[in-house]
Amino acid sequence: MSAQRECGACDLCCTLLRVDALPKLAGVPCRQLRPGGGCGIYERRPQVCRGYRCLWLRGRLEDGDRPDRLGAVLDLRDDAGAPRLEIREARPGAFEHSERLHEIAARFRGTIPVRISATDDVMNPDAPFRLLLPDGSEQRVVGDRIETRRDGRLEIARMPWARRLLRSGLQRWRARRLRRLHARGSEY
Ligand code: SF4
Ligand code: SF4
């Protein structure tokens, strides 16, 4: 594997990232993207864009796993000491239809959870996601409904109240932020 990599034709994180300096919300394509691809302000792109390095760019995946080829951006996240692999699909069904993404997920799932969601849903607390857990079980979360598949059995539960509370707080924060950005004349 090579550690010296260039993004080349990939621009998937230009949808994923939140860039306050523009401003741009997470999960929407950047208005600075040129129609043929690439950044229209590359030489003076904000620090957030310069600093972001997905798992592939950091040399943690094979050379052929560049996100635009995989159809997903991969990252390692750490939520208060709980690491996980984040797979953000750039197109619906990317994970389902990719043997390579399944291989990568299986490798990481041996030790940490793998979360699968969509690149453009990053700011939406209601967005559905899948969680593949090291014990072999899988969760599908839609709204506050959690389906858990374990040893061939399906359990359905409602999200615990603390997570529901956090989710509704995030929804209010997101609505406030969207209103503020609209008031500033940004379409984002
Ligand atoms: S997703 Fe990774 S490879 Fe693609 S543009 Fe962003 S940092 Fe570069
Ligand atoms: S400013 Fe350029 S590098 Fe940054 S998100 Fe927009 S298109 Fe991508």
Atom 8 of ligand 1 has which residue's CA nearest to it?
A: 7
What's the pLDDT score for residue 12? 94
Angle value at C-alpha 96, between 91 and 99, nearest 5 degrees: 110
CB 54 within 8 A of CB 68: no
What's the pLDDT score for residue 184? 66
Atom 4 of ligand 1 has which residue's CA nearest to it?
A: 10
Q: Atom of ligand 2 at shortest distance to CA of 30?
A: 6
Q: Which residue's structure tokens are 């899948």? A: 130
DSSP 53-86: --TTTTT-S-GGG-HHHHTEEEEEEEETTEEEEE
Give me the residue spans of the domains in the chain: 13-183
Is 7 close to ligand 1, i.e. is its CB under 6 Å away?
yes
What's the pLDDT score for residue 187? 46
What's the pLDDT score for residue 124? 75
Q: 97, 81, 78, 79: which is closest to 89 by C-alpha? A: 97
Is 57 close to ligand 1, i.e. is its CB under 6 Å away?
yes
If the chain, 188 residues long, is cut into consecutive pieces of 10 residues, what is the mean pLDDT of each piece? 80 92 88 91 95 96 96 93 95 94 97 92 80 96 92 92 84 78 58
